[in-house]
Amino acid sequence: METLLIRSDFLTKTLKDPVNLLLIALLTVLSYLILWPFFELILQTITWGDGDRRLSRAAIPGEHTWFHWLQVTASPLSSKILYEPLINTLKTGLISTVLALLAGGMLAWCVVRSDIPGKNWLQPILTLPYIVPSFAIALAWESLFRSPKVGGQPGLYQALFDLSPPEWLSYGTFPISVTLAIHYFPFAYLLVCGALATIDSQMEESALISGASRMMILRRVTFPVVAPAFAAAFILTFGKTIGQFALPFLLGAPTQFHTVATMVYATLALGLDSMAYVLAIVLIVMSLMAIWLSNRYVGKKSGRFETISGKGFRNRQVSLGSWRWPIFLGVALFAFVVGILPLLLLGYQSLMLFDGFFDLSNFTLHFWIGESDPEIAMGEPGVLHNHNIVGAVWNTLELAFLSAVIASLIGLLIAYIVVRKPNNHLAKLLDQVSFIPFLFPSIAFGAMYLTMFAEPNGPIPALYGTFTLLVLISVVNRLPYSVKTGVTAITQIGKELEEAAEVAGASWRHRFQKIVIPLASSGALTGMMVSFVGVMRELSLIILLITPSTRVLMSVGFNYAEEGLTQLSHALVLIVAVLTIIGELILWWAGKSKFVRLREKET
């Protein structure tokens, strides 16, 4: 009896704590929004649907079946639906990841470990390809190497050399792999930069004194030490490339070159929903395996690569000598080609009256300021007079702003619980659940929400076709980023401030509102800007959920590209790219201002 009273008293105190109530509420809601859609996705693949009657006479809607899995994995259609796209996915993913890692690793060494000049302005340009939408890079590649054999007007390559580019250069494995590498090498570059910055130069100096050459030092000392960063960059980059949709679709669909991600979109367009969901599960499993391999490799071998200890640490840059300026010119040229040239090509293409004719006499502002003309672009007016585009701009800004604010606030609440309750198992579980969306490929995550919200589900109405669903999935997708920035901000706030306010009689809500939020505002703002930029350029996540009433800039640009209205699609993607760059500049400025303020406080 006494034990029961103690447990009852403990339960009462636990439930009276508003932080515990918030923890339980958030864990319940996030489990419904993150875990349940995955189980719903699996359930849809083993259940007959109403549309399956045209596929099989044995279909009884609502009953369980393995028909969809067998059709995808063991039928005459399996080669086209699964195995060829799977081989293409692995092939483009591996090639692009290797290229991205080679480029990112070499550039990281040049910027971090060498005395190359111009680092302050090289770094933002080198990260530019990852900031702009991947769709922009694909459009720029197509502008260069479009093949008239596939259809449409020639690209810049043919205009300059009067020679049609080979099909393998225009569409398929090679262009997809190269453009994916261009988009994701900054991701590898940033990961490797962090590892190179922690290398103790005394190890390299000792090898140099022992008579080792520069190349041997790189091969036997530097590269082995940063092996965990390379392994993590390789597997994480691979996990991102296999889930990419827009870029492989644009450079593969014209020649029927499909990856698993593009096949998800294609099978949904054909009305084969359950088969598309099987492919989405395949993508999710591939991504989870990549993350697991990364954690397993780095976790097991982390002790072999310790570079900072209590014995002293020194990080001295390597002198390039006479190679200093040639290497700088090479890096600067590379940065221009991958970071600035694609945007210039998009702008150039948006000013062409007739696609494929690069004469100055063909320049026009029609696709920016022109009104409807039946003889141009099927009567579509320019950007400033196009109601569809103006509506998409407002939808995009509203979606990005609302998602960023909500994700930042929820992320801050989760971060507060995780930091303030480090030994609470439910708090740890909440942290892990909030990170799960990072593991799901974007188009697969969109497929999960399509299955869950296409029809009413208990008290939850059907949200498909509503703006609310776009906000909901965008918020959940950005939670891993907002939680991590929130944890950094909350960790810097001492408990004694809240304890003093609690002694003075302030409620938890009052303490959180008056103490935590103001002090964590800088971190919350960072998380908000990261989410804003991410949602602005997102397409794969929401492409399956977009309807005419909820279109955004990226989806409108994608539709224009599908319809062959290249000038308008280039103009829209260029607008998105500029907006995301502005967002990143604001984020960089805010971060720099915070650093300056911290330095002023220290002095």
pLDDT more than 70, % of the chain: 84
Work out the angle at residue 441's Cα, subtended by the Cα atoms of residues 435 and 447, and round it to the nearest 5 degrees.
105
Residue 2 confidence (pLDDT) above 60: no
Residue 232 confidence (pLDDT) above 80: no
Distance CA 557, CA 314 (A): 50
Residue 155 confidence (pLDDT) above 70: yes
Of the two residues 573 and 229, the one the predictor is more confident about is 573
Residue 134 confidence (pLDDT) above 50: yes
Confidence of residue 334 (pLDDT cuts 50, 70, 90): very high
Average pLDDT, the chain: 81
Tell whether 271 is covered by a domain. yes
Question: 126 and 107 in contact (C-beta within 8 Å)?
Answer: yes
Give yes or no: residues 275 and 421 share one domain: no
Give yes or no: residues 596 and 480 share one domain: yes
Q: Is 292 helix (H, G, I), strand (E, B) or coil?
A: helix
Average the pLDDT over 259-271 and give the result. Answer: 89
pLDDT per position as a tens digit, 445-459: 999 998 888 888 777
Lowest mean pLDDT among 14-23, 41-50, 334-343, 406-415: 14-23
Confidence of residue 207 (pLDDT cuts 50, 70, 90): low
Can you give the CATH number for the domain in which 246 is found?
1.10.3720.10
Average the pLDDT over 406-430 and give the result. Answer: 89
Q: Hey, which of 125-139, 328-342, 524-538 has the most confident mean pLDDT?
A: 328-342
Residue 598 confidence (pLDDT) above 50: no
Tell whether 371 is covered by a domain. no
Confidence of residue 218 (pLDDT cuts 50, 70, 90): low
pLDDT at 503 (0 to 100): 78
Question: 536 and 557 in contact (C-beta within 8 Å)?
Answer: no
pLDDT per position as a tens digit, 537-593: 888 889 889 988 888 988 898 888 888 888 888 898 888 888 888 877 776 666 555
Tell whether 574 is covered by a domain. yes
Residue 11 confidence (pLDDT) above 80: no
Q: Whose CA is closest to 396, among 190, 237, 542, 212?
A: 542
Average the pLDDT over 527-536 and give the result. Answer: 82
Give yes or no: residues 398 and 287 share one domain: no
Q: Which residues partner with 352 through β-bridges?
A: 363
Return the number of other C-beta atoms located less than 10 Å from residue 280's C-beta.
32
Give yes or no: residues 289 and 394 share one domain: no
Tell whether 373 is covered by a domain. no
Residue 4 confidence (pLDDT) above 60: no
Distance CA 58, CA 361 (A): 63
Residue 305 confidence (pLDDT) above 50: no
Tell whether 565 is covered by a domain. yes
pLDDT more than 90, % of the chain: 18
Tell whether 532 is covered by a domain. yes
Residue 517 confidence (pLDDT) above 70: yes
Q: For residue 136, what are the domain limits?
A: 66-306+318-349
121 burial (CB, 10 Å; 0-12 / 13-18 / 19+) is exposed
pLDDT at 299 (0 to 100): 52
Average the pLDDT over 231-236 and give the result. Answer: 76
Domain end position, chosen among 329, 349, 369: 349
Give yes or no: residues 187 and 238 share one domain: yes
Average the pLDDT over 42-49 and give the result. Answer: 88
Q: Whose CA is closest to 131, among 530, 550, 562, 548?
A: 530
pLDDT at 238 (0 to 100): 86
Residue 366 confidence (pLDDT) above 70: yes
Question: 500 and 484 in contact (C-beta within 8 Å)?
Answer: no
pLDDT at 602 (0 to 100): 39
Give yes or no: residues 159 and 83 share one domain: yes
Question: 508 and 501 in contact (C-beta within 8 Å)?
Answer: no
Average the pLDDT over 588-603 and give the result. Answer: 49
Of the two residues 541 and 358, the one the predictor is more confident about is 541
DSSP state of 465: T
Give yes or no: residues 285 and 418 share one domain: no
Give yes or no: residues 163 and 249 share one domain: yes
pLDDT at 210 (0 to 100): 61
Residue 191 confidence (pLDDT) above 80: no
pLDDT at 596 (0 to 100): 41
Average the pLDDT over 416-425 and give the result. Answer: 86
Please give the full DSSP string across 514-535, using - where no structure is assigned.
IIIHHHTHHHHHHHHHHHHHHH
Confidence of residue 82 (pLDDT cuts 50, 70, 90): very high
Q: How far is CA 218 from CA 24, 188, 204, in A?
A: 51, 18, 8
Tell whether 85 is covered by a domain. yes
Give yes or no: residues 432 and 329 share one domain: no
Give yes or no: residues 338 and 412 share one domain: no
Residue 464: CB partners within 8 Å, gap ≥ 6? 450, 453, 454, 545, 547
Tell whether 288 is covered by a domain. yes
Please give the full DSSP string across 169-181, using - where no structure is assigned.
HHSSHHHHHHHHH
Q: Hey, which of 22-26, 200-204, 289-293 has the most confident mean pLDDT?
A: 22-26
Give yes or no: residues 283 and 197 share one domain: yes
Element (DSSP H or E) covering residue 383: none
pLDDT per position as a tens digit, 168-178: 888 999 999 99
Distance CA 340, CA 126 (A): 10
pLDDT per position as a tens digit, 52-75: 777 888 888 888 889 999 999 998
Distance CA 135, CA 132 (A): 8
How many domains does the chain fold into?
A: 2
Lowest mean pLDDT among 166-180, 385-399, 492-506, 569-583: 492-506
pLDDT at 477 (0 to 100): 92
Q: Hey, which of 22-36, 150-164, 523-537, 561-575 has the most confident mean pLDDT?
A: 22-36
Sign of the C-alpha dihedral, residues 130, 135, 138, 143?
A: negative
Give yes or no: residues 459 and 339 share one domain: no
Confidence of residue 497 (pLDDT cuts 50, 70, 90): confident
Residue 308 confidence (pLDDT) above 80: no
Lowest mean pLDDT among 287-296, 369-378, 397-406, 441-450: 287-296
